[in-house]
Structure 1
Amino acid sequence: MTRFGFERPPPVLLAVIASTFFVGFGGGVVFPILPNLGAVLGISAFMVGVILSANRWVRLVANAPAGALVDRYGTRKPFVIGLFVEGVATLGYVVALAMPPAESLRPLAASLPTLAAGPLAVGPDWWFTALSGVVAPETWFLLARVLWGLGSAAVFATAYTIAADLSDGGSRGTNMGIVRGGITMGFPAGLVLGGVVSAVAGNVAAFVVAAAFALTASVVAHRYVPETHVTGDRSGDSIRPWEVDTAVPAVTVGLVNFGLMFAYIGALFSTLVLFLGENDISLFGLAPQGTSGLFMAGTVLSAAFFMLVGGRVSDARDSRTPILLTFLVVSFVGFLLLARAGSVLSLGLACVFIGAGQGGTSGPMMALLADLTPDERMGRASGTNNVLGDVGGGLGPMVSLPLIEAVGFTPIYAACAVLPLAAGAVLLVGVRRETGTFLPGHAAGETGPSERSSAADS
């Protein structure tokens, strides 16, 4: 069925969208809360950056095995298990805030026995230091983000592979955009939940609600998502963190993803709450946490809308390259506007442009990867894309937060405007090297509709 120029996606993709939407709450809820919570808990800006990016560093070693598992065993089990792991990880935020103050452990440390004499004695001071590390909120936030990274590696690899399995050249951009939209649409809900609910009912309440929705996601997936990816016996294939797809299409798309995620997650999401406080910008009288949640939600909503637009337009055109370059320029303009933002209106406009640039590239970019990648390698290719994107998203907070403390917001935001342009140059070079043209058609590298259909129907 077609409405407003868009065909209704297959029921399997609707289930994938619902699952990734619910679990996305846990991904977004932490961003408006933790940067400000860091000052309250005594966590340094660097440590906050480490926590926010920990899931991405974990995915560096988990993405490739996740993709290999998909190519060997299919999509259903990794997808359901990954969603469940993300739900459990969200509960870790609740545990982090429930930990007792470190000073309350001194009596317990004093009651524990000394295990040895001399300079290496394990006595009360040693026990107190060890116990303090165990109950420290940053320890549990970090563990939760690590667990989240393991789960999301499986979810990302499977979601995109499901979309590729159910698509051909004429629908791949749209379906990739829809799935990417489902993955990200839960994120703004988490941003709003993290910002607004924490302001109204407290941080613990926000994390509990997010965890409940995240765990619901695995139930939805278990009930409604079937197997779509059967590629034969691949039991001899290795499953190691370094077994990524090094083909030109996977590396090219991955490098584009690297630049976008560095700027988007590192320069915007990880610093916006601090930018609002510095410039005294507020929406509806909310504090920086609540206001940042609303701005980031607006950014991701813009991204989700343009994911559909970009994917649909790329399907209707002979080549996906022009629409990709267009949205990379939109992202460039957005970061220039961000560097000059000083009011609610100017910041809102910057967020819309940045979101549009990020979202408009997502569907066509993954569709281009699927155009140029054989079915039996799509899981690994998705893993490679995720690895490079996670390098960018992981470096972003660790680099931008300390640098902003040193030089301010404007130079960092202006520098990030260059990254989408560099990504466009990488895209053109990679596409030309692989296909011999800057404007490859949808059929480039296509293995044939019959082969893809048989995989989807099995």
Structure 2
Amino acid sequence: MSNSSRDAARSVVYAVVASTFFVGFGGGVVFPILPNLGEVVGISAFMVGVILSANRWTRLFANAPAGVLVDRIGTRKPFVAGLAIEGAATAGYVVAITSAMPEFWFVLARILWGVGSALVFATAYTITADISEADSRGTSMGIVRAGITFGFPAGMVLGGIVSEVYSNVAAFVLAASFAGLASVIAYVIVPETHVDSPDSSVRPWDVETTLPALTIGLVNFGLYFAYFGVLFSTLVLYLEAESMTLAVEVARIGIEYGEQGTSGLLMAVSALSGAVFTISGGKISDSVGARVPVLLAFLVTSCAGFAVLTVAHSLAIVVAGCTLIGAGQGGVGGPLTALLADLTPEDRMGRAMGTNNVFGDIGGALGPLISLPFADAIGFDVLYALSAVVPLLAGIVLVVGIYTYTGSLSPTVDESAV
């Protein structure tokens, strides 16, 4: 690839990063408000749960068709459309909070957000895979993933501040504005990278079921199950059980952060750690010319983080555990999607990303259903000890699957490229 081609590819990657950051920022802005809908507009606790989970269940069914659509018509239109749909969904929050039927509008908005995010996730990584060479793909994938990851916690912080200082409506309007900006950036800068003309031979049920796609999908399942499904779902209850809170002083006013506030800060710390190591993980895999050793190292890091939580008796140790788990989760992200791109023909990358996203969302959706009852029955120490095993199992699946497919325990980037 010539220097001019590399510069052009880099500008597209940065545009994808900016778009996903701003739409993720918009999603983060509203997140501190949504769990409190019962108090804000009188919605029942059950309906709050439905609203919070509606986007993930929608995306579970939309991921595979989104990936197929990418291979059929290309990346540009679905990417721009997905960002625009997320912007419209965020604007729907403004309608919902001022409506006489807020439950209906919030559920509709979250369903739309699920459809939009399925399109964005399927296209963002496919665009990056299309325009990057094998020796820099890990870095590019890590940068894009970091853009998505950084946006959400940054938006959570700003959303909490804006809603407190101004109003919930102002926070929703701000979120919609950022999401709208994301679609404008994508429309102006991001070109078509995937197909020259629509491929009518691609069918909606033509998902990717190759060994690499299933192997990497199972690893993604384990990561989402342990990280979003276990850690994020149980952290506030764990802090409550351990009576851990964080006192901070803001503007000379002593503010006691209870379990909810402390868990939010810990999630942000974990997400920030993940974003940092997402970039470095992908870059390291490019530097050493192999993905599997880097992936195994970060899977062990995630395992260590959960192990730390089982012996944590102070907030500082909990912070260390959450940081390690975030680092492991993030460090796997770049090399894992890069490995999927290395082992997948370009014309099937959309379908492969759709399959990968389906596995991740299943893990994220099942995690809370299993972890919360388990925490009540067996305690948090045992739950986190079992969760520490999940990344190790994912590592075994990775090694067995890759060895079966390539004949090597650690294929080089050049050997993996198809």
- Report TM bin, short chain: 0.7 to 0.9
Aligned to 2:301: 330
> CA separation in 2, counterparts of 1:403 and 1:410?
11
Q: 2:187 aligned with 1:222, yes or no?
A: yes
Aligned to 1:387: 358
Contact 1:91 1:208 in 2 (8 A): yes
| Number of equivalenced pairs | 403
| Pairs within 5 Å for 1:350-389 | 350-389=321-360
Contact 1:49 1:398 in 2 (8 A): no
Moved over 6 A (4+): none
Q: Which one of the candidate residues 113, 129, 144 is aligned to 2:109?
A: 144
| Pairs within 5 Å for 1:418-437 | 418-437=389-408
Aligned to 1:254: 217
Q: CA deviation at 1:208?
A: 3.0
Q: Which whole-Å deviations, capped at 9, do the CAs of 1:93-131 have from their partners, x for residues lacking one?
A: 33443344xxxxxxxxxxxxxxxxxxxxxxxxxxxxxxx
Q: Which one of the candidate residues 127, 137, 141 is aligned to 1:162?
A: 127
> CA separation in 1, counterparts of 2:338 and 2:187?
26
**Which structure 1 segments of 5+ residues have no match?**
1-6, 101-134, 448-458
Aligned to 2:87: 87
Aligned to 2:292: 321
Q: Percent identity?
A: 60
CA distance 1:224–1:273, shift in 2 (3 Å): farther
Counterpart residue type for residue 266 of structure 2: F
Aligned-partner SS, 2:246: coil
Q: CA deviation at 1:306?
A: 0.6
Q: CA deviation at 1:405?
A: 5.3
Aligned-partner SS, 1:443: helix
Q: Scaled by the length of structure 2, what TM-score is found?
A: 0.88
> CA separation in 2, counterparts of 1:283 and 1:215?
37
| Pairs within 5 Å for 1:220-369 | 220-230=185-195, 234-240=199-205, 243-278=206-241, 279-282=243-246, 284=248, 285=255, 286-369=257-340
> CA separation in 1, counterparts of 2:245 and 2:163?
19
Q: Which whole-Å deviations, capped at 9, do the CAs of 1:172-221 have from their partners, x for residues lacking one?
A: 11111111111111111122234444444454443332222122211111
Aligned-partner SS, 2:328: helix
> CA separation in 2, counterparts of 1:17 and 1:320?
22
Q: CA deviation at 1:345?
A: 1.5
Q: Scaled by the length of structure 1, what TM-score is found?
A: 0.81
**Which structure 2 segments of 5+ residues have no match?**
1-6, 249-254
Contact 1:53 1:397 in 2 (8 A): no
Aligned to 2:252: none
Counterpart residue type for residue 195 of structure 2: V
Contact 1:339 1:409 in 2 (8 A): yes
Aligned-partner SS, 2:300: helix
> CA separation in 1, counterparts of 2:407 and 2:184?
46
Contact 1:170 1:442 in 2 (8 A): yes
Aligned-partner SS, 2:289: coil
Q: CA deviation at 1:229?
A: 1.4
Aligned-partner SS, 2:97: helix
> CA separation in 1, counterparts of 2:373 and 2:37?
17
Aligned to 2:4: none
